[in-house]
A and B are shown apart, each in its own frame.
Chain A
Amino acid sequence: MALSGLDIYRLLPKTNCRECGFATCLVFAMQLAKKAVSIDKCPSLSKESRAALEASAQPPIKLVTLGIGEAKFEAGNESVMFRHEEKFHRPCGIGFIIEDSLSNVLIKDKIIKINKLKFERIGQKLEVNLVAIKQKESAKRFTEVVKLVADNTSLALVLMSDDLTGLKQALDITANRKPLIYHATKENLPQIAELAKDYNAALVATGEDLDAVSGLTVELNNLGISELILETGDKPIAEKIWDLTQMRRLALKKNNRSLGYPSLVVINQADPFEEAQEAASYIAKYAGIVLIKGVEPFEILPLVTLRQNIYSDPQKPLQIEPKLYPIGQVNDKSPVLVTTNFSLTYYTVLGEVEASKIPSYIVSVDTEGMSVLTAWAAEKFTPHKITESINKLGVKDAVKHKRLIIPGYVAVISGELEDESGFEIIVGPKEAAGIPSFLKNLPINT
C-alpha cells in the first residue's frame, strides 16, 4: 500500500539538514510520495524507516512468474477487492493435476486433451495455464512422469510432492522451465527452501490457516525466498473464501507483507460439476491459481469463459474496430446488417449470421463499445451516426442494393434513418437468435 506524504514524513529524521537537496524533510517526504526522488538521497535514514519505505514501494501483492515463453504465466499485483473498483488484473491460472500412478498412455492422452483446451470468444484467446504432476509413487517414477509431461506440453509446470528426492530429480530436468514447487510446510521448511533456492524456483507455502501461512512466509523470507504462492489447508468452500478474502484484504488494506502473495487452491472433487462450481467460486473470489482434475471441454470452456468475464475491464467494454465486415462469400447483393462495435453484440450477431449460412455484411457502428440499447439511449446509435458510418465504411461501394437491416430494438429510428441515409430500412429481430430465420425469409429480390 502506498504511503502518504505525511506517513513518510513520520519516518524521516525530521532534522531538515538539507542533505537531500530539499529545504525540509517534509518537502522531501512529499516528493517521495510522488515517487519523484529516491530514498537514497537521505543519508540519515534509520534502518527501520528504510525497510518500511522500501516495503511500501513494492506492490502489495507480489507478482510471481511461472513458466517460460508463450506459456509464461503471472499471478499477483492485484489492487482491489471488487472488480468495479478498478479491475482484476491477472486472470486466475487454471491448471490440471496428473498423478504419476496413471499409466503413460493415460497420461499422454490427458496431455493431448489439455493441449487442445484453447478457445476463442469475443475476439480473445482463452487458454489454460498449468500442468501439475503429483507424486504418488517412487521418486524415479515421479521424475519419469515429469519428463513425459514436460516433453509433451509447453504449459507451466507444478511439481507436487512431499518427497525431497523426487522433487530434486524433477527440478534437475525442469528448472529451466520456471516450475512451481508444491509445497513448503512447517515440516519440510529448511530443506525445501534450499531446493527452491538452488533451482531458483517459485514455491507454494501451505499452512493450516492464515497464522500458519504467514509464519511460513516470514521464515522463508528470512531464508531469502520471496517467489511465493500461498495456500491454506483443505476446508469447506465458505471457509476457503474467507481465507482468500482475508489474504487479499490484509495485503491491500493493511500492507501485511507476509500475506502479500498470490494464492493457490487445490480442488478435490470427482464430479465435474462440483469441481467446476468450486473452481468458479475461487476464480471469482481472489484465487491466483486453481488446480483441478477435469480436462473435458464441457467443463473447461465454461470455466475459462467465467474467468474472462470476471477479469474483463469494467471501465473499458471490449470493442471491435468499426468496419464493414464481409461474412462468407459475399457479393454486391448480400444483405447488410447494422450493429454496434461492442464486442459482445458484434460476436453474437456474427455467430448467428454464420449459422444462417447466408453471406452477409455486418456494419459495426462506432458506439464506443456500447450495446444497441445503451448506445441508442446515449445517442451513439442515432440515424445520424449510423449514416455517417455507412458512408465512411464504404457500404455503397460494397453493395448495389440500398437496404439496411437494423436491430429490432431500435425500430423507432427507421423513418429518420431512411430519410437521412437514403437506404430502405428493414427492421430485423430484437434478439440475435432470430437472425438465421430472419435472413432465410428475407425476400431475395435484388
Chain B
Amino acid sequence: MAVQLMQEMWQGEISTVTIGAVKEEGGSRAYSIKIGGEQSLPCLFKEGAIPNKPEIAFEIWDIAPNDWPSELSKEYGHALNDPFLWAEKCVKEYKARSLCVRLQGAHPDSGDKGPGEEAAFIRQLLDKVNVPLIILGTGDDTKDNLLLPACSEAAKGERCLIGSAVQDNYKTIAVSLLADGHNIIAESPIDINIAKQLNILISDMGLPLERIVINPTIGALGYGLEYAYSIMERARLAALSGDKTVASPFVCFVGQEAWRAKEAKVEDSRQGVMWEVLTATALIQAGADLLVMRHPLAIEKVNKYIDKLCS
C-alpha cells in the first residue's frame, strides 16, 4: 500500500554567510567556508536544499585559559601557552577548517591587553594560519567597543566573523565590521524576539542580513540545552515560512558551555568528550550552522557525524 507522504513546502530560505576571503577577494585565506542557505529543516533533504554542511571551528585563546578542566587542556599541552603554536596545531594536526579566537587576554579581569596589542596579534595570527577566522571579544561592552574595531581593521578584507554584538551594544561594532568587510555575530539571550530586533537594528545600520550570524546563546546538555534547542527550532520555522529577520545561520558556542558542566569534569575523560559531542549533535538537529568546539576528539566525532548526515 503506497503511503501518501506529507511534504512541507517552504518559501523562505536561510541566508548564506561566507567566512574568509581568498586572495582574489582581497584576503589571504586559503579558502572560504559557507554556512546557512538551508531551504529545509535539519536533515530533511527531501523538502528543500541544504547546500552547506554545518561547520566546526576550533576555539583558541590569546592567553592560556585558566578555567579549562585538565581533561580538556591536556589535549593541547604546552601549546596553550603560545596561541600561534596552538593555532598551528589545530590546523596542521587536527585539520581545523576554521578557527575561533577568543581575546580573553583583553578582558579587564584577565590581563586587560590593549586594543593595539590585540590587533597586532590578530594580524600576526592571520599571517601564520590561512584558514577562515572568527574573532570574539571579551563580553565587556566598553572594552569590546575599543577592541573589536581595532581587530576589525587589522583583519580588513579577510572577511572574518566577529562578535559579539548585543542589543545594548552593537553600533560601534557594526560600523567597523561594515567598513572592513566582515560578518557580525548578533547575540541574543535565548529570546527569539530580541534576536529579530537585533538583526533589524544591525541591518538598519547598513550591514546586510547576509552578513549576520545569530548566536542564540546555548546552554550545555543538562544545563538548559532545551531552551536554545526550541528557540532555534522556532526561529527556523519562522525563517522558512518567510520571516527574513530571523533567517540567519546560527553559531553555537558548544565547547564553552559543555566544558563548564560538572559532568564533563570527571575522571573518565570520555564523559567530557561525550558531553561536548552530544551538545553539538542535539544543536545540529535544531539547526546549528557553525559550532565552536574545544576537544579535538569531540570535533573529530562531530565532523564524522556531519559527514554521515550529509552523505
The winner among A83, A218, A302 for most chain B CB atoms within 10 A is A302
Q: How far does the alpha carbon of A218 sit from the alpha carbon of B271 in the complex, in Å?
A: 44
Q: How many A-B residue pairs have CB under 8 A?
A: 135
Verify if A190 is at the interface (C-beta below 8 Å from B): no
B residues less than 8 Å from A258 (CB atoms): 1, 3
B260 CB, min distance to chain A CBs, angstroms:
6
Verify if B273 is at the interface (C-beta below 8 Å from A): yes
Verify if A13 is at the interface (C-beta below 8 Å from B): no
A238 touches B45 (CB 8 A): yes
B278 touches A306 (CB 8 A): yes
A277 touches B278 (CB 8 A): yes
A372 CB, min distance to chain B CBs, angstroms:
12
B299 CB, min distance to chain A CBs, angstroms:
11
Residues facing B in A253-304 (CB within 8 A) are 253-254, 256, 258-259, 272-274, 276-277, 280-281, 284-285, 296-299, 301-303
With A84-B230, A276-B274, A303-B278 in contact, is A281–B1 under 8 Å at CB?
no
B residues less than 8 Å from A84 (CB atoms): 230, 233-234
B271 touches A301 (CB 8 A): yes
Interface size on B, residues (CB 8 A): 47
B residues less than 8 Å from A280 (CB atoms): 278, 281-282, 285
B residues less than 8 Å from A431 (CB atoms): 260
Q: Produce 1/0 per residue, A215-235, CB < 8 A to B.
A: 100100000000000000000
With A277-B305, A309-B226, A310-B229 in contact, is A254–B278 under 8 Å at CB?
no
A285 touches B43 (CB 8 A): yes
Verify if B92 is at the interface (C-beta below 8 Å from A): no
B43 touches A344 (CB 8 A): no
Q: How far does the alpha carbon of A372 sit from the alpha carbon of B204 in the complex, in Å?
A: 32
B305 touches A344 (CB 8 A): no
Q: How far does the alpha carbon of A214 sit from the alpha carbon of B5 in the complex, in Å?
A: 12
Q: How far does the alpha carbon of A285 sit from the alpha carbon of B222 in the complex, in Å?
A: 18
When C-beta atoms are compared, the residue in chain A nearest to B231 turns out to be A84
Q: How far does the alpha carbon of A259 sit from the alpha carbon of B2 in the complex, in Å?
A: 12
Which single member of B226, B237, B281, B285 contacts A312 (CB below 8 Å)?
Answer: B226
When C-beta atoms are compared, the residue in chain A nearest to B230 turns out to be A84
When C-beta atoms are compared, the residue in chain B nearest to A313 turns out to be B226
**Which of A197-205, A243-251, A400-408 lies on the face that meets chain B?**
A243-251
A residues less than 8 Å from B274 (CB atoms): 272-273, 276, 298-299, 302
A281 touches B260 (CB 8 A): no
SS class of chain A's interface: helix, strand, loop or mixed? Answer: helix
A310 touches B1 (CB 8 A): no
With A84-B230, A285-B43 in contact, is A277–B3 under 8 Å at CB?
no
Verify if A348 is at the interface (C-beta below 8 Å from B): yes
B225 touches A242 (CB 8 A): no
A82 touches B281 (CB 8 A): no
B4 CB, min distance to chain A CBs, angstroms:
7
B263 touches A305 (CB 8 A): yes
The winner among A246, A259, A309 for most chain B CB atoms within 10 A is A309
A214 touches B222 (CB 8 A): no
Q: How far does the alpha carbon of A299 sit from the alpha carbon of B281 in the complex, in Å?
A: 14
Q: How far does the alpha carbon of A371 sit from the alpha carbon of B223 in the complex, in Å?
A: 12
Q: How far does the alpha carbon of A296 sit from the alpha carbon of B271 in the complex, in Å?
A: 10
A residues whose Cβ falls under 8 Å from a Cβ of B:
82-84, 121, 210-211, 214-215, 218, 236-238, 241-242, 245-246, 249-250, 253-254, 256, 258-259, 272-274, 276-277, 280-281, 284-285, 296-299, 301-303, 305-306, 308-310, 312, 314, 344, 348, 351, 371, 373, 431, 433
B residues whose Cβ falls under 8 Å from a Cβ of A:
1-6, 43-46, 67, 189, 221-226, 229-230, 233-234, 237, 260, 262-263, 268, 270-271, 273-275, 277-278, 281-282, 285-286, 297, 301-302, 304-305, 308-311
16 A-B pairs in the complex with CB atoms less than 8 angstroms apart: A83-B230, A121-B222, A210-B3, A211-B1, A237-B308, A254-B6, A273-B274, A277-B281, A277-B301, A281-B285, A302-B271, A302-B278, A309-B226, A309-B229, A344-B224, A371-B224
User: Top 3 A-B pairs ranked by shortest CB distance?
Assistant: A298-B271, A309-B226, A84-B230
